[in-house]
């Protein structure tokens, strides 16, 4: 059975890949998972659990903890506070079947459920006897100050800590107008006394029951939105707007099985808009380009499949925006300047093993102009010289000759506005791992049309031949001839036309000459498709992104989580971080594309280290 039998788009995410991603984020943005009073950022080594920060974080001097309020000492005077910390030490996801962590006996992961594991640590400052004695002495000094109201922080490098491990199982069901979330079970491991554990677990379940309906409403609102995808790296790339919805044709959506979360989606709306306006792709060219092999085994961290019907929607949206343009001049004594602008229309697509078959595709030629520049041998029409006329004296004539410049004659042929049919052709998709100057690596997706491809130019040669015949028949009227030489030029019309034909090397059969010009000289059919192949396969990626991929940008502010707003230190949380927090990046270890008779499949793996 194909992956997309009941949907346009199938997405499967492996729990192992998600957990690897979480670890990479924890290492590169530790302040998202570690919270402590402001003083602990100066001494992060004394928190409950060592913080595994990436080397780039430490090299930048980034804070490892998000600042929270210190804990007040009740009844103290002046008001006194002690340091505290809260850490998320571990966070994992497990899709059915359970293999990412060991569940306690009190809870189990059932079919079509996903499990969440979290380990947290909480620390509270506890001054040593020496630290407390020193602090009490300072209190005596503070009390001598009239009206002293300053809040006092009790300095200590001693934290008392405890850890808790939480396990939860959840389920989810999505449909075109459905979003159902459930917290199935919740367990705190080995918390004593048992009554306290039961109390906390009951409270968590109560909060979930009251909060989940709000999340469901938010999901429903988000599902009906049309979204604009991020702009592509190449400015000539497409602007994409898309609306998708969960499929109702599967019993479980999403499905939690085979250690994966599987989503089944349909494309409800899709538009693309883009223009290719140059003969050659702009921007830097890669230094190296390889097809990178996969090094892992088993299911990929992410699998995305697009059904043939789903891809037809994408194809039709894309074909509307493709436009190409090229212009050049060839030759010296006899020059040909051409300017051609076309866009694709219609077309249908079918999947075969390893490639796509495209047929019924037309090209509409918005602009199709050819200008012949000819250096015609000079033709003397009126000789120069002087004549003695009795009684009138000497009369001199400057003479008159045609074709004294180089080129002498410009013959424009404009056949814009016709449509050509493209023969059935095949194409596949390639994934390249490229390296650019400066050590920039990218994953790039390219369309690779398989040559040869033939274009039926209909009666193009006949049309050009007719226009050229008309030009030659009316050449005398087209040339700028002074009125005093008009009669002499008319008398030499046959000589002029024969001379132009000879310069152009036009035989008596002008149609055969035009056909030879299009096929052998301009090589129009091959040049167009070689350019299109080069453009898509080499120069311009359908989609590209840097490796490692930035998932959280550089920022000079701490992340504010609304649920924790009452815990933040109101002053420290809003201070500018200098230098800024380094960006969080994910190494993309592998991307591969395959096409079978039913669908196009993209597989990707996340690397273990950055």
Q: How far is it, in rounded angstroms, from Cα 228 to Cα 273?
A: 12
Element containing residue 212 per DSSP (H, E): helix 194-223
| Nearest one of 366, 344, 365 to 425, comparing CA atoms | 344
Q: SS3 for 311?
A: helix
Q: What is the DSSP letter of 126?
A: -
The pLDDT value given to residue 279: 45
**Cα atoms in the Cβ-side hemisphere of radius 13 Å centred on 340:** 22
User: 392: which residues sit within 8 A by CB, 6+ positions away?
Assistant: none
DSSP letter (8 states) at residue 538: I
What is the per-residue pLDDT for 384? 64
pLDDT at 80: 84
For residues 152 and 125, give the distance between their C-alpha atoms in angstroms, rounded to a whole number.
Answer: 14
Q: Taking the CA atoms of 174, 178, 184 and 189 in sequence, report the sign of the dihedral they define.
A: positive
- Measured distance CA(93)–CA(374) in Å, rounded: 75
Q: How many angstroms separate the CA atoms of 431 and 547, rounded?
A: 13
SS3 assignment, position 133? helix
Cα separation, 463 vs 416, in Å, equals 11
Residue numbers of the chain with a pLDDT score lower than 70: 142-151, 224-238, 274-283, 332-334, 375-379, 381-408, 451-469, 471-541
Name the token pair of 456: 């039926």
pLDDT in tens, 3-55: 999 999 999 999 999 999 999 999 999 999 999 998 898 888 899 999 999 99
CB 95 within 8 A of CB 151: no
Question: Which segments of 463-598 are extended strands (E)?
Answer: 543-547, 549-552, 584-586, 588-595
Please give the pLDDT value at position 272.
77
Cis amide linkage into residue 470, ω under 30° from 0: no
Structure tokens at 443: 């994953």
Quick one: which of 596, 540, 83, 12 has its CA closest to 354? Answer: 596
Beta strands in 321-406 (DSSP E): 323-330, 334-352, 355-374, 379-382, 385-389, 393-397, 400-402
In 3D space, the residue among 565, 567, 545, 547 whose CA is nearest the CA of residue 610 turns out to be 547
CA dist., res. 587 & res. 21, Å (int): 9
DSSP character at residue 555: B
CA atoms within 13 A on the CB side of 562: 0
Name the pTM for this structure: 0.77
DSSP state of 517: I
Strand partners, 441: 435, 547
449 neighbors 533 (Cβ within 8 angstroms): yes
Contact call for residues 289 and 433 (beta carbons, < 8 A): yes
> Would you list the DSSP string of 569-597?
-TTGGGSPPSSPBPPEEE-EEEEEEEE-S
- Determine the 3-state secondary structure of 1 from DSSP: coil
Q: State the Cα–Cα distance between residues 242 and 244, nearest whole angstrom.
A: 7
- In contact, 331 and 352? CB cutoff 8 Å: no
């Amino acid at each position: 059975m194909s992956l997309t039998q009941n949907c346009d788009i199938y997405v499967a995410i492996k729990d192992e890949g998600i957990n690897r991603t979480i670890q990479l984020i924890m290492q590169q943005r530790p302040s998202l998972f570690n919270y402590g009073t402001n003083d602990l950022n100066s001494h992060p080594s004394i928190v409950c659990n060592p913080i595994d920060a990436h080397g780039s974080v430490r090299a930048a001097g980034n804070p490892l903890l998000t600042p929270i309020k210190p804990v007040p000492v009740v009844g103290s005077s002046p008001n006194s506070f002690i340091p505290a910390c809260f850490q998320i030490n571990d966070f994992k996801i497990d899709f059915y079947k359970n293999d990412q962590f060991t569940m306690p006996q009190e809870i189990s992961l059932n079919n079509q459920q996903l499990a969440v594991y979290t380990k947290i640590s909480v620390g509270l400052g506890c001054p040593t006897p020496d630290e407390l004695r020193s602090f009490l002495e300072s209190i005596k000094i503070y009390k001598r100050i009239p009206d002293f109201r300053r809040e006092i922080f009790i300095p200590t490098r001693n934290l008392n800590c405890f850890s808790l491990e939480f396990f939860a199982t959840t389920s989810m069901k999505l449909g075109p107008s459905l979003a159902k979330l459930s917290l199935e079970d919740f367990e705190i491991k080995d918390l004593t006394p048992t009554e306290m554990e039961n109390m906390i677990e009951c409270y968590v379940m109560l909060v979930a029951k009251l909060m989940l309906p709000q999340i469901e409403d938010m999901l429903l609102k988000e599902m009906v939105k049309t979204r604009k995808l991020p702009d592509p790296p190449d400015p000539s790339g497409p602007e994409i707007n898309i609306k998708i919805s969960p499929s109702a044709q599967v019993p479980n959506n999403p499905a939690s099985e085979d250690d994966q979360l599987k989503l089944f989606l349909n494309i409800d709306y899709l538009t693309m808009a883009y223009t290719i306006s140059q003969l050659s792709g702009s921007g830097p060219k890669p230094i190296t380009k390889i097809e990178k092999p996969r090094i892992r085994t088993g299911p990929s961290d992410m699998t995305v499949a697009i059904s043939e019907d789903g891809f037809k929607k994408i194809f039709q949206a894309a074909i509307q925006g493709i436009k190409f343009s090229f212009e050049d001049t060839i030759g010296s004594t006899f020059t040909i300047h051409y300017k051609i602008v076309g866009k694709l229309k219609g077309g249908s697509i079918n999947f075969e093993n390893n490639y796509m078959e495209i047929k019924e595709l037309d090209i509409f030629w918005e602009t199709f102009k050819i200008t012949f520049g000819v250096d015609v041998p000079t033709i003397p029409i009126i000789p120069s010289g002087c004549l003695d006329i009795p009684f009138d004296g000497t009369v001199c004539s400057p003479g008159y000759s045609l074709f004294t410049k180089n080129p002498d004659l410009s013959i424009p042929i404009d056949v814009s506005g016709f449509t050509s049919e493209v023969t059935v052709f095949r194409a596949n998709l390639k994934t390249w791992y490229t390296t650019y100057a400066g050590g920039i690596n990218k994953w790039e997706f390219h369309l690779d049309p398989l040559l040869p491809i033939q274009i039926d130019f209909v009666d193009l040669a006949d049309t050009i031949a007719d226009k050229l015949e008309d030009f030659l028949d009316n050449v005398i009227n087209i040339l700028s001839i002074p009125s005093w030489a008009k009669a002499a030029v008319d008398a030499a019309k046959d000589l002029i036309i024969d001379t132009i034909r000879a310069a152009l090397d036009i035989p008596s059969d002008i149609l055969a000459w035009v056909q030879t010009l299009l096929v052998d000289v301009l090589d129009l059919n091959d040049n167009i498709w070689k350019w299109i192949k080069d453009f898509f396969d080499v120069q311009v990626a359908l989609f590209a992104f840097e490796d490692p991929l930035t998932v959280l940008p550089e920022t000079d502010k701490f992340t504010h989580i609304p649920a924790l707003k009452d815990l933040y230190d109101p002053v420290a949380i809003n201070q500018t971080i200098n230098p800024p927090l380094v960006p969080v990046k994910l190494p993309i270890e592998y991307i591969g594309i395959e096409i079978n008779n039913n669908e196009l499949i993209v597989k990707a793996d996340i690397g273990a280290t950055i």
